[in-house]
Amino acid sequence: MPFKSGDILDLDIDTLAYGGQGVARRHGFVVFVRHTVPGDRVRVQIVKNKRTYAEARVVDLLSPSPLRVPPPCGHSETCGGCEWQAIDYAAQLELKQQQVVESLQHIGGLRDYTLEPIKGMTIPWRYRNKMEFSFGTNEAGDLLLGLHKRSSWREVSETTDIWLAPEEMNRARQAVATACRALNLPPYSQVTHQGLLRHLVVRKGFASGDLFLNLFVTSRFREEEALAARVAEVQPYSSFAITVNESRADAAVGVGPFMVVGPPWFNEEILGVKLRVPALGFLQTNGIMVEALYDVALRWAAPAAQRSAYDLYCGIGALSLLLAHRAGHVYGMEIVTDAVAAAQENARLNGITNASFLAGDVRKLLRETTTAGGEPPAVVVTDPPRAGMAKKAVERMAALGAERIVYISCNPTTLAANAAQLTTLGYRLTRVAPVDMFPQTHHIETVALFERQ
């Protein structure tokens, strides 16, 4: 091992690994350095050694990369939100496309496919339709409401303006924080496990303008209506909800929502399909680029009018209902029962009768489907969680015998692993289209088309 912890050395950053860490090499040994950009020359200190790589922290930026740009947000050095805003956006797109290609090649051994140019945003800001904020305190004990600081799950940075969020989301956050201070409501402490206020989740319907505020607390409290009224005076909203999290888990989960104002959903519309999105219902986070993403998926799916289609991990049914306009019948599968109920309600809302939704583990539902036999579907669309699909689920998806599989992925490394497995099950990767759903961060969405051989 060429280094030991504490060593100081000068390195040139060659590229970015998936996850956003800079990659440098010394004598064939890889060193990962956070908060760096390809083209940087940095002085670093080794903080961790492994058999095949080391990790280091930046001590000094000796020579900045030409890819660097001044971050527009004044909190970029401390906030853990958008870690790529110091990289020119055109360079971000190139790096993301490169990471998709490298993941497919190095993990999946896949090279022979048509790669479409990455789809980026014209204005890569204010795109998020969901923001999760955390409560905390400063050194003086004053209440804060913002995002976690870099590499910290306890400290909170209360930024004046979060550039990934629409302006009304920022106003709502500030209004909630001001009202909570005025009402003397205490934030929850991860150290003492005392206090009331835990998280605020704000969701927006880009087509409707609806704003859904969901306050996560340790218990119900008597000032709920007063708090909602104070916030409404500053930033109007369509719904204000309370969700109770009595556990020690530092996550926006719990029992609810208990509605203080408005319905337990907000309205959205995607490519002509109207949606009621429940408080915890999944929706693609980029409210501007979601139509571009689904347009690629629908073109490649090309469901036949007299044939069935499957939508795995269907959530509240947005893509299922778009497929239903083109397919004979669509079968959506989703493990979250509330999401399935929302999908069924959205089908009724749109007058769609050729879509059925099944609640349960997709892997188990697929086993029942494949053993039942019948005509193979024309297409299967799958949009799994970041961890990708389990091997058995991929096997059962392939056993359906669909002509095409359209795989929507938010993690190119797990896409590559699943793609490699599909090639052993009679499918060939033919097209890949990266879509930048997460500008200013390392995350990238990818649509992949597999065709049965």
* Interatomic CA distance for residues 180 and 320, integer angstroms: 41
In this structure, what are the phi and psi dihedrals at residue 33, rounded to the nearest 5 degrees? Answer: -130, 115
Give burial (CB, 10 Å; 0-12/13-18/19+) of 47.
middle
- 180 catalytic per annotation: no
Residue from 376, 383, 395 nearest 311 by CA: 383
* Interatomic CA distance for residues 423 and 326, integer angstroms: 27
**Choosing from 79, 82, 180, 410, which is the catalytic residue?**
410
Polymer length of the chain:
453
Number of other residues whose CB lies within 10 A of the CB of residue 102 = 16
Host H or E run for residue 130:
strand 130-137
* Interatomic CA distance for residues 53 and 386, integer angstroms: 25
For the four alpha carbons of 53, 55, 58 and 64, in that order, the dihedral sign comes to positive
Termini Cα distance of the chain: 46
Q: Report cis status (omega within 30 of 0) of the bond before 117.
A: no
Tokens 């890569």: give the residue.
124
* Interatomic CA distance for residues 278 and 259, integer angstroms: 12
Contact between 273 and 258 under an 8 Å Cβ cutoff? The reply is no
Cα R_g (the chain), whole angstroms:
23
What DSSP character marks residue 379? E
> Helix, strand, or coil here: 5?
coil
Amino acid sitting at position 154: R
Residues belonging to the active site: 410
